[in-house]
Amino acid sequence: MEKIVYQKSKGLTDATLSYCPGCTHGIIHKLVAECLEELGVLEKTIGVASVGCSVLSYNFFNCDMQQAAHGRACAVATGIKRTRPDSVVFTYQGDGDLASIGIAETIHAANRGENFTVIFVNNAIYGMTGGQMAPTTLIGQKTTTSPFGRSVVDHGEPIRISEMFATIPRASFIARVSVHNVQNVRNAKKMIKKAFQYQLENKGFSLIEVLSTCPVNWGMTPYDALQWVEKEMINYYPLGVYKDNYENK
Amino acid sequence: MAKGRIEFDYGKCKCCLLCTKFCPTNILVLDTTKINEKGYNLIRVTEAEKCIGCAFCAMMCPDSVITVYRLEGSKV
Ligand SMILES: Cc1ncc(C[n+]2csc(CCOP(=O)(O)OP(=O)(O)O)c2C)c(N)n1
Ligand code: SF4
Ligand code: SF4
Ligand code: SF4
């Protein structure tokens, strides 16, 4: 007899993802969906889609979804969670959305200790609009708005969101993960699940930063893009748990 | 008998080739003779009897194309 050991998560709809071939937005969607399914909370989950390539994620997650204006996902999630405290609430935001136009909303939601989960997809670029520089673009990285490579003098250093949010007292759980190989995909899922578990235990704000690829705007094959994450991105954005207010307490 | 077996939801495949790169037994290859309705070439299993049902291919597939089966009692 054979048994199924892997199949599409029930946390995803049957819609075909709108992402480019090999884009790891798809892997991250699967992990969020699998966690919600395994925790048995799909029926009471409300996700907040942001603006960016994942703007259509309301078609892909098999739970209630709300679309927020660019950068405002954490403000919208605050309203949803406060009026429906029994719901599981998450935002799904890119680095343009969260680290640039939405940085204020995100910081203040963390500072208030809002009890929801942020899935922060850091692909070091604005994907949807054609590959412009993001606050997270690496030094030397060429984009359409930094054709000679990002320079510290002109553009400042890339912002490390996880480290920055770890300084906020009421942020409960902050971790940076990656999905560039099987081992890291497994670990990323563990961290996302822990974030949702904390929310279910009313432990407050959690943010999981996931290093992700944009093969199209990076100008690489999907596999080479995964290797670029491993060789270049992780150097500047080290993986790990940056804050856990409840570990050993 | 093979320890594992995989099935593709071919209509969803985008030919990103990530599954072929992560299969530890190297049995997944690009099949340029087949194409789906989106215009992408498909992936073919070369030596099905070598599949160990590890699901690495499926875990790395961004589009949930692959379902993995494993013989009951067999370990990866
Ligand atoms: C108010 C407003 N300003 C600018 C835009 C244009 N815009 C659309 S998506 C985007 C950035 C998306 O980048 P990111 O959040 O990194 O997501 P990705 O597409 O890379 O997944 C911008 C600037 C907009 N839609 N609305
Ligand atoms: S543009 Fe980049 S981030 Fe957007 S779907 Fe394509 S590969 Fe992914
Ligand atoms: S289940 Fe494992 S062995 Fe079988 S095709 Fe997939 S990656 Fe290869
Ligand atoms: S990883 Fe998935 S989408 Fe990519 S080629 Fe393999 S089956 Fe197709």
Look up the CATH number of the domain holding residue B21.
3.30.70.20
Structure-block tokens of residue A36: 């919600």
Residue type, A96: G
Nearest CB partner across the interface for B67, out of A1, A4, A30: A4
Contact residues on chain B for A221, CB-CB shorter than 8 A: 17
Residue B39 lies inside a defined structural domain of this protein? yes
Tell me how far apart the terminal alpha carbons of chain B are, to the nearest angstrom.
14
Q: Check if the beta carbon of residue A139 is closer than 8 Å to that of residue A146.
A: no
> Can you give the pLDDT at residue B76?
73
Q: B53 CA distance to ligand 2 centroid (A)?
A: 30
Paired residues of A89 in beta bridges: A46
CATH T-level assignment (fold) for domain A25-244: Rossmann fold (3.40.50)
Element (H, E) at A23: none
Tell me how far apart the terminal alpha carbons of chain A are, to the nearest angstrom.
45
> Can you give the pLDDT at residue A1?
87
Q: What are the angstrom distances between the C-alpha of A158 and each of A23, A167, A229, A236, B65?
A: 22, 17, 15, 9, 35
Residue with tokens 């194309």: B65
Structure-block tokens of residue A245: 């207010």
* Contacts (Cβ under 8 Å, ≥6 apart) of A49: A55, A56, A57, A58, A65, A66, A67, A68, A73, A92
Contact A8 B22 (CB under 8 A): no
Torsion of Cα atoms, B53 then A37 then A166 then A210, to 10°: 50
Q: Radius of gyration of chain A from Cα atoms?
A: 17
Proximal ligand: closest to the CA of B16: 4
> Can you give the pLDDT at residue A248?
61
Q: Radius of gyration of chain B from Cα atoms?
A: 12
Structure-block tokens of residue A96: 């343009």
Total number of domains constituting chain B? 1
Residue B75 lies inside a defined structural domain of this protein? no
Contact A22 B71 (CB under 8 A): no
Residue type, B49: E
Q: At what angle do helices A25-38 and A182-200 cross, to 10 degrees?
A: 50
A82: how many CB neighbours lie within 10 A of its CB? 12
Share of chain A above pLDDT 70, in %: 99
> Can you give the pLDDT at residue B42?
97
Q: Rounded to an integer, what is the distance from CA A160 to the centroid of its chain?
A: 14
pLDDT under 50: residue ranges of chain B: none
Query: Per-residue pLDDT for A221 more than 80?
Result: yes
Residue B58 lies inside a defined structural domain of this protein? yes
Q: Check if the beta carbon of residue A92 is closer than 8 Å to that of residue A51.
A: no
d(CA A224, CA A124): 15
Residue B76 lies inside a defined structural domain of this protein? no
Paired residues of A119 in beta bridges: A92, A208
A90: how many CB neighbours lie within 10 A of its CB? 29
Question: Range of B44's domain?
Answer: 4-69
Report ipTM for this prediction: 0.96
Instruction: Take atom 8 of ligand 4 and give the residue whose Cα is closest.
Output: B13
> Can you give the pLDDT at residue B72?
86
Instruction: Report, as an integer, the average pLDDT of A202-209.
Output: 98
Number of residues that make up chain B: 76
Whether A138 is in the pocket of ligand 2, judged by its Cβ within 6 Å, is no
Q: In what order do the strands lie in the sheet with A205-211?
A: A64-67, A45-49, A88-94, A117-122, A205-211, A171-178, A240-244
Instruction: Report, as an integer, the average pLDDT of A185-194.
Output: 98
pLDDT band at A249 (very low <50, low <70, confident <90, very high): low
User: pTM above 0.95?
Assistant: yes
Structure-block tokens of residue B2: 């093979």
Q: A32 CA distance to ligand 1 centroid (A)?
A: 21
* Averaged pLDDT of chain A: 98
pLDDT band at A33 (very low <50, low <70, confident <90, very high): very high
> Can you give the pLDDT at residue B1?
78
